[in-house]
Amino acid sequence: MTSTQVIFLITALVTIFSAVMVVGSRKLFHSALWLILSFLGVASSFALLEASFFAIVQLLVYIGAIAILIIFAIMLTRDIMEDEWQQINRSWGLVLILVITIFSVLLGLYSTWSGFQTILNPLGISGQENILAFGKSILAPDGFALPFEASSVLLLAAMIGGIYIAMDRKQEGDEA
Amino acid sequence: MGFLNFLFDPISSISTWLSSLLAGWGLSNEIITPILYLIGAGVLGTGALLVTLLLIWAERKIIGRVQDRFGPNRVGPWGIFQSVADMVKIFIKEHIIPSHVDPIPYHLAPILAVSAVLLSLAVVPLSKTTVGTNLNVGLLFIIAVGGLGELAILMAGWGSNNKYAIIAAFRATAQLISYELPMVITLIIPVLLTGSMGMVDLVEAQKIPFILAAPLAALIFFIASIAENGRAPFDLAEAESELVAGFNTEYSGLKFGMFYVADFLRAFTSSIIFVSIFLGGWQGPWAVQIPILGFVYLLIKSVIVWFVGVWIRGSLPRFRIDQMVDINWKILTPVSLILVLLTAFIDKGLGLSSIYLRYIVLFLLNIGVGALVIQLIVKQVKKTEVQVDVGSRERLVARPENMITIHHQE
Amino acid sequence: MIPLSWYLIFAALLFAIGLFGVITRKNSVAILMSVELMLNAVNINFLAFWHYHTQNSGLPQVNAMVFVAIVFIAAAAEAAVGLALIISVYRQRKTVVVPELDTLKG
Amino acid sequence: MLDQWLYIGIFLGISLFLPAVAIFLASLLSPKKPNAIKNSVYECGVETRGETWVQFHVQYYIYALMFMIFDVETVFLYPFAVAYGQLTLFAVVEAIIFVTILLGGFVYTWKKGNLTWQ
């Protein structure tokens, strides 16, 4: 058991625990806070995988933007009664069995693969090589230039669609 | 010679000495590194918090002079121990915890607020040889940890269980995320010029500071970082003279003090960051040979930038919320996006090899875009300006539409 | 140092929890949060395999990185439109609880 | 690489630890005399009625959404900026098209008046 493994196990446990709390919390705002903690855990596992850029983007996009957007939406749709409601469907036992089945089937499939037990060693990349290769590939016409432009269109659609849906023309000006 | 080396570069000398000392005790490398890191982080964090005491005093003094007051002048010479006295007082004040607070967010928020400010120091190179850590995505790291500060504000607002606190928290967060956008976008320009996101590479690439290649970008970044600090003229979220107190209404004692510390410290760290990105950081004459000199340069530059920030705080009146929103979304963000595009296109299109020519072209480009923007703003203001006949008996009511502002054309 | 299997199990667990949340939670914002968990699990898998392939070939691999970036973009788009829909529904029906949104029921 | 992240982790620990210890010490030193009035919610002296329940204006959401969309761009724009020195003019134009498409959405939102504070 090396120290890296211990660090990984701690982050994984924290992440899994907070993910459980996201699903299990009664208050929505608490769910959102647990969600942020699990995003942080995922970011640190990205860092352990030496994908620094994505660890930071995880912080920037998920915690800095998506989590805040979710919290804003929670505040916009908050209801006085929310905490008294039954938060989970009554048939959750069935779903639990289904989910455990899916999980064990996944594990079974993984374990038949020969590379499953590979030890991941440090890559020894501390400079910009990864990001540079990534940057070049998304702009190379024989690389990923098309997905790159398509994602811009996706974002455009999300922006216009989101704003169009969220803005309500009839009730303008009813600010609290 | 050894002594001279120590004098020129004390921090790395100490760390070399410490690591050899620990190795002498038979510790393996795997333990020495974390211990050194722990000591380094501890010294940096404690030092920053202690410097805050000085910063608070200096800022109060400067603001006092700007507003034609004395500022603190009773405790010690020039009142220099005023913030020490304040600290002692705030330490022994009662922590009033209002009923029905949401305990975890309420208690965690002040801690997180300070932590978010301190963390950005971890990647800033303090001299040629001294840097917390040379993370290869340091620049983005600095922006990302700023997001933790927004989180602290939201948690404080929610946890307090107070209508005003939560409204203020939402206002503050909306302002912070809005102004984070021009920061994120303008910082692409230094990365374009360097080809690296590491802070060490970024500073070392600035034999000529980037502010000469991108003055407009630096200006936008500076304005955005003032707004990120939530200080005048962008202090709508805790307009001291208008609202209750902002998101920290329900905090008292040292918990409030932590928000206060975070506020004053952030003013300084953001100027350190500005200096590192646009003004060459520790670069200066003989800074390579004598690293300690680089640290001095960094401090001098940062203090100057910080002073400009305080000066602005003392001089400018507060913006209204619609002006604050307009400045960001209708000026800073579009201008910074267009500036990035133009910089990338013109620099690549001309393909100049001489660094001086490149800088001159980019400088002219920035000035040109800046002049154009100012012209547009002036035109827009003229269009919406309301002519007031001072002699007439009718007076305009102080309403947003009657003021000189940049209005959206419906 | 860390076996690939740990990352895969970790990601599968996170995915399972997210899936459980998506199916069982009643509040639509909570469902969206669970979807974000699942997307995160997918990203862990992508990056674990990225590390694996980079280690095997010795060169920086870009395919997985592009996938992760697209997942980020898709997550952002999904959150933007999803939450906007929730806000819009809330405004008309004063509820965000999925079982109560049963207008289409016969 | 992992070393650098280790430092960040340790620094995060320290930067959480220092204020936490300060607050803990202060809570030991400070007097504790709570009473109902002192602990009531600070809302201009009037007793609060109902829960802290405020309906927020949707404008906040619009700004958060715009911020998120442009923030996500960084996933592509920063790697582009890092690779910039080795790119051809054609590749730079591609990136410009990428941003211009989004700028189109920005202009649309602006013209619709959704960026103006209401």
Band of pLDDT at residue D56, cut at 50, 70 and 90: low
Instruction: Tell me the C-alpha distance between B259 and B238, whole Å.
Output: 12
Average pLDDT over chain C, rounded to whole?
Answer: 88
- Give the structural domain span for B15: 1-92
In a 13 Å sphere around the CA of D13, the CA atoms on its Cβ side amount to 13
Instruction: Tell me the C-alpha distance between B104 and A18, whole Å.
Output: 14
**Which chain A residue's Cα is nearest to D111?**
A160
Band of pLDDT at residue A81, cut at 50, 70 and 90: very low
Does residue C68 sit within a domain? Answer: yes
Which is more confidently placed, A77 or B45? B45
Model-level ipTM above the cut of 0.85: yes
Model confidence pLDDT, tens digit, residues A84-143 = 556 677 788 898 999 999 999 999 998 898 888 888 888 877 778 888 989 999 988 888
Contact state of A160 with D61 under an 8 Å Cβ cutoff: no
Is residue B149 within 8 A of residue B116, CB to CB? The reply is yes
Are both B88 and B103 inside the same structural domain?
Answer: no
Does residue A150 sit within a domain? Answer: yes
Is residue C60 within 8 A of residue A133, CB to CB? The reply is yes
Residues of B with CB under 8 A from a CB of A: 30, 102, 104-105, 134-137, 140-141, 143-148, 150-151, 154-155, 158, 166, 170, 173, 177, 180, 184, 195-198, 201
Structurally, how many domains does chain C consist of?
1
Does residue C17 sit within a domain? Answer: yes
Q: Give the per-residue pLDDT at A130.
A: 86
Phi-psi region of B209 (alpha: psi -120 to 50; beta: other; left: phi over 0): beta
D58 vs A contacts (CB less than 8 Å): 76, 166-168
Q: Could you write out the DSSP letters of every residue in B157-218?
A: HHHTT-HHHHHHHHHHHHHHHHHHHHHHHHTHHHHHHHS---HHHHHHT-SS-GGGT-HHHH
Q: Name B258's Cβ contacts closer than 8 Å, sequence gap at least 6.
A: B110, B111, B113, B114, D19, D22, D23
Model confidence pLDDT, tens digit, residues B186-238 = 999 999 999 889 999 899 998 889 999 999 999 999 999 999 888 878 887 76
The CA distance from C1 to the nearest CA of chain A, in Å, is 5
Residue that has been written with the tokens 């920005």 in this structure: D106
Query: Between chain B and chain D, are at least 3 CB pairs below 8 A?
Result: yes
Please give the interface size between A and C, counted as residue pairs whose CB atoms are below 8 Å apart: 245
Are both B182 and B68 inside the same structural domain?
Answer: no
- Give the structural domain span for C14: 4-99
Nearest CB to D68; choose among C69, C76, C87: C76
Q: What percent of chain B has pLDDT over 90?
A: 34
Band of pLDDT at residue B100, cut at 50, 70 and 90: confident
Does residue B392 sit within a domain? Answer: no
Q: Give the per-residue pLDDT at A13.
A: 95
D60 vs A contacts (CB less than 8 Å): 72, 75-76
Which is more confidently placed, B120 or D1? B120
Q: Give the per-residue pLDDT at B405.
A: 44
Query: Between chain B and chain C, are at least 3 CB pairs below 8 A?
Result: no
Which of D8, D66, D76, D86 to mutate to probe the A interface, most A CBs <10 Å? Answer: D76
- Cis peptide, bond prior to residue B233, ω within 30 of zero: yes
Residue C19 has pLDDT above 60, yes or no: yes
Are both B246 and B374 inside the same structural domain?
Answer: yes
- Give the structural domain span for A141: 128-176
Which of D65, D67, D70, D86 to mutate to probe the C interface, most C CBs <10 Å? Answer: D65
Band of pLDDT at residue C87, cut at 50, 70 and 90: confident
The CATH number linked to C75 is 1.10.287.3510
Which is more confidently placed, B71 or D45? B71
Which of B29, B32, B107, B151 to mutate to probe the A interface, most A CBs <10 Å? Answer: B151
**Which chain D residue's Cα is nearest to C87?**
D58
Residue D50 has pLDDT above 60, yes or no: no
**B32 in contact with chain D, both atoms CB, cutoff 8 A:** no
Model confidence pLDDT, tens digit, residues A13-54 = 999 999 999 988 888 888 999 999 999 999 999 999 988 899
Q: Give the per-residue pLDDT at D53.
A: 52
Give chains near D: 3+ CB pairs under 8 A.
A, B, C
Average pLDDT over chain D, rounded to whole?
Answer: 84
Could you list the beta-strand ranges (E) of chain A: 119-120
Structurally, how many domains does chain B consist of?
2
Q: Give the per-residue pLDDT at A74.
A: 86
Model confidence pLDDT, tens digit, residues D77-108 = 999 999 998 888 999 999 999 999 999 999 99
Does residue A90 sit within a domain? Answer: no
**A10 in contact with chain D, both atoms CB, cutoff 8 A:** no
Q: Is B70 helix (H, G, I), strand (E, B) or coil?
A: coil
Q: Name B409's Cβ contacts closer than 8 Å, sequence gap at least 6.
A: none
Q: Name B37's Cβ contacts closer than 8 Å, sequence gap at least 6.
A: D6, D7, D10, D11
Does residue A89 sit within a domain? Answer: no
Does residue C81 sit within a domain? Answer: yes
**D105 in contact with chain B, both atoms CB, cutoff 8 A:** no
Band of pLDDT at residue B128, cut at 50, 70 and 90: confident
Residues in chain D: 118
| Residue A60 DSSP symbol | I
B253 vs D contacts (CB less than 8 Å): 26-27, 30
Q: Name B254's Cβ contacts closer than 8 Å, sequence gap at least 6.
A: B90, B91, B93, B95, D22, D23, D26, D27, D30
Instruction: Tell me the C-alpha distance between A131 and B136, whole Å.
Output: 9
Nearest CB to A75; choose among B146, B170, B198: B170
Q: Give the per-residue pLDDT at B312.
A: 92
Instruction: Tell me the C-alpha distance between D8 and B135, whole Å.
Output: 9
Band of pLDDT at residue B362, cut at 50, 70 and 90: very high
Are both B157 and B231 inside the same structural domain?
Answer: yes
A92 vs C contacts (CB less than 8 Å): 20, 24
Contact state of B42 with D14 under an 8 Å Cβ cutoff: yes
Q: Give the per-residue pLDDT at B407.
A: 45
**A68 in contact with chain D, both atoms CB, cutoff 8 A:** yes
* SS3 of chain A: helix, strand, coil, percent, to 5: 75, 0, 25
Does residue A11 sit within a domain? Answer: yes
Among A27, A59, A91, identify where a domain stops.
Answer: A59
User: What is the mean predicted confidence (pLDDT) over B105-123?
Assistant: 91
Nearest CB to C47; choose among A46, A107, A168: A46
User: What is the mean predicted confidence (pLDDT) over B95-99?
Assistant: 83
**B69 in contact with chain D, both atoms CB, cutoff 8 A:** no
User: What is the mean predicted confidence (pLDDT) over B38-54?
Assistant: 90
**Which chain D residue's Cα is nearest to B32?**
D3
Contact state of C12 with A106 under an 8 Å Cβ cutoff: yes
Which is more confidently placed, C100 or A71? A71
Contact state of D106 with B340 under an 8 Å Cβ cutoff: no
Nearest CB to C9; choose among A77, A107, A115: A107
Band of pLDDT at residue D48, cut at 50, 70 and 90: low
**Which chain D residue's Cα is nearest to A169?**
D114
Does residue A156 sit within a domain? Answer: yes
**C53 in contact with chain A, both atoms CB, cutoff 8 A:** no
Model confidence pLDDT, tens digit, residues C37-56 = 999 999 999 999 999 988 88
Are both B63 and B79 inside the same structural domain?
Answer: yes
User: What is the mean predicted confidence (pLDDT) over B317-328?
Assistant: 85
Contact state of D68 with C72 under an 8 Å Cβ cutoff: no
The CA distance from B149 to the nearest CA of chain D, in Å, is 13
User: What is the mean predicted confidence (pLDDT) over B339-367?
Assistant: 90
Residue B269 has pLDDT above 90, yes or no: yes
Is the Cα dihedral A61, D8, C65, C51 positive or negative? negative
Query: Between chain A and chain D, are at least 3 CB pairs below 8 A?
Result: yes
Structurally, how many domains does chain A consist of?
2
Q: Which of D118, A64, D44 is nearest to B153 (CA)?
A: A64
Across B116-133, b (16+ Cβ under 10 Å) vs e yields bbbbbbbbbbbbbbbbbb
Is residue C32 within 8 A of residue C86, CB to CB? The reply is yes
Does residue C106 sit within a domain? Answer: no
Q: Give the per-residue pLDDT at B218.
A: 95
Please give the interface size between C and D, counted as residue pairs whose CB atoms are below 8 Å apart: 20
Question: How many Å from the N-terminal Cα to the C-terminal Cα in chain C?
Answer: 57
Find residues 42-61 of chain C whose CB sits inside 8 Å of chain D: none
Does residue B263 sit within a domain? Answer: yes
Contact state of A123 with C51 under an 8 Å Cβ cutoff: yes
Model confidence pLDDT, tens digit, residues B270-282 = 999 999 999 988 8
Which is more confidently placed, A169 or A140? A140
Which is more confidently placed, D46 or B89? B89
Q: What percent of chain B has pLDDT over 70?
A: 91
Q: Give the per-residue pLDDT at A173.
A: 47
Does residue B406 sit within a domain? Answer: no
Give how far Cα B126 sits from Cα of B98, B273, B276, Å.
42, 11, 9
Instruction: Tell me the C-alpha distance between C47 and C64, whole Å.
Output: 7
Q: Give the per-residue pLDDT at D31.
A: 82
Are both B49 and B173 inside the same structural domain?
Answer: no
Are both B257 and B285 inside the same structural domain?
Answer: yes
Domains of chain D: 2-112 (1.20.58)
Contact state of A167 with D62 under an 8 Å Cβ cutoff: yes
Q: Give the per-residue pLDDT at B372.
A: 95
Model confidence pLDDT, tens digit, residues B364-403 = 999 999 999 999 999 988 887 666 666 666 665 655 555 5
Contact state of B119 with D15 under an 8 Å Cβ cutoff: yes
Q: Which helix (H) or strand (E) holds C86?
A: helix C63-93
Most confident of A75-84, B157-166, B312-321: B312-321
Is residue B127 within 8 A of residue B294, CB to CB? The reply is yes
For residue D47, the tally of other CB atoms under 10 A from its CB is 7
The CA distance from C105 to the nearest CA of chain A, in Å, is 18
Band of pLDDT at residue B5, cut at 50, 70 and 90: confident
Q: Give the per-residue pLDDT at B28.
A: 79
Are both B337 and B362 inside the same structural domain?
Answer: yes
Model confidence pLDDT, tens digit, residues B156-177 = 888 887 777 887 888 888 889 9
**Which chain B residue's Cα is nearest to D85?**
B195
Band of pLDDT at residue B260, cut at 50, 70 and 90: confident
Does residue C64 sit within a domain? Answer: yes
Q: Give the per-residue pLDDT at D37.
A: 73
Q: Give the per-residue pLDDT at A158.
A: 94
**C49 in contact with chain A, both atoms CB, cutoff 8 A:** no
